[in-house]
Amino acid sequence: MIPKTRQTLYPYSVNIETATGKPATLPLALLTPKQAEEVQFKFKRLAQEAGAKGARISVRRVIADDYGKVIREAKVRLRYAAPKAA
């Protein structure tokens, strides 16, 4: 029996932008570095097949420092989204 080698997963941020300039950020994904490369390759192929010119994808590994930034940004957005008390 061949033992499976464990591959380390890392958090990645995936941003997609269409030709209209409207970006979409997907939730953090746990991927291996090889999977992150494959996501970009497959996206480009899918965009080409769909005829979506100008579509772009950005897959980047998230570092620990981003966690604090995400929490601060969430607090700010929640503060503005909460209904004002009368």
pTM to 2 decimal places: 0.61
pLDDT tens per residue, the chain (86 residues)?
A: 565 667 888 888 888 888 887 788 887 788 899 999 999 999 999 988 988 888 889 999 887 666 777 778 778 878 777 666 55
11-40: b or e for each residue (b if 16 or more CB lie within 10 Å)? ebbbebeeeeeeeeeeeebebeeeebeebe
- The number of residues in the chain equals 86
